[in-house]
Amino acid sequence: MKEKTDKLITLLGLGIAVVCTILAIVFAMNNGGVKELSAVKANGLFDATYWILVCFVVVSIAAIIFFLVVKLAKRFKEEPGYLKKFLLLVGIVVVVLVVSYLLSKGNDVTLALMEKNNITESTSKLIGACCWVVYILVIGAAVSILYTEVAKLIKKK
């Protein structure tokens, strides 16, 4: 029964993904992708498509979070040491976020671009922090991949 439920949930998720993709394509097209309708009707279709897409994305994110929490709770119950590993991982992510925010200068964007787009210095600092997070995580992933491959080569010899 569990396998059927998992398969049903997977198919439902794939269905939502396909519908979201189709709606995103329609949303990205000019006038909702319908040129022969009047401007009012096309804008109404555009708005409806946008909000349906937003609803599907919210439902998808809620489902991801729900199943993540359920799976984590189950894992915490089955493996007592897993909570310690999980909290260590969360701590590392928080440290990366804090270090990234501290490394960000807040002037990553030119002053003209900031004025043109109404970007404040704090927004620019958050954008810079996000860039630093990506840099740190990519470098960390590359280093861990290299370490794993080198360790495999050393063990073979």
pLDDT digits (tens, 9 = 90+) for 25-57: 766 665 544 455 455 555 666 677 677 778 888
- 32 class by beta-carbon count within 10 Å (0-12 exposed, 13-18 middle, 19+ buried): buried
Share of the chain above pLDDT 90, in %: 24
* Domain co-membership, 92 together with 49: no
Gyration radius from the chain CA atoms = 23
pLDDT averaged over every residue in the chain:
81
Count other Cβ atoms within 10 Å, centred on residue 117. Answer: 9
Domain count, the chain: 2
Most confident among 17-31, 49-63, 66-80 (mean pLDDT): 66-80
Helices (DSSP H) in 32-120: which residue ranges? 39-78, 82-103, 111-116
Residue after which a domain boundary falls, among 24, 56, 78 = 78
Residue 11: the pLDDT is 79
Place of tokens 């009012």: 40
Residue 147: the pLDDT is 95
Give the residue-averaged pLDDT of 54-77: 85
Count the residues in the chain.
Answer: 157
Give the residue-averaged pLDDT of 69-95: 89
Residue 118: the pLDDT is 83
* Domain co-membership, 19 together with 70: yes
Residue after which a domain boundary falls, among 50, 78, 106 = 78
* Domain co-membership, 55 together with 121: no
The rounded distance, in Å, linking the Cα atoms of 64 and 60 is: 6
Q: Residues 34-48, buried b or exposed e (16+ Cβ, 10 A)?
A: eeeeeeeebeebbee
The rounded distance, in Å, linking the Cα atoms of 106 and 125 is: 4
Show the domain range for 142.
Answer: 82-157
* Domain co-membership, 61 together with 28: yes
The rounded distance, in Å, linking the Cα atoms of 98 and 133 is: 9
* Domain co-membership, 33 together with 93: no
Residue 150: the pLDDT is 94
Give the residue-averaged pLDDT of 115-119: 82
* Domain co-membership, 47 together with 89: no
Which pair of tokens denotes residue 60? 């998808």
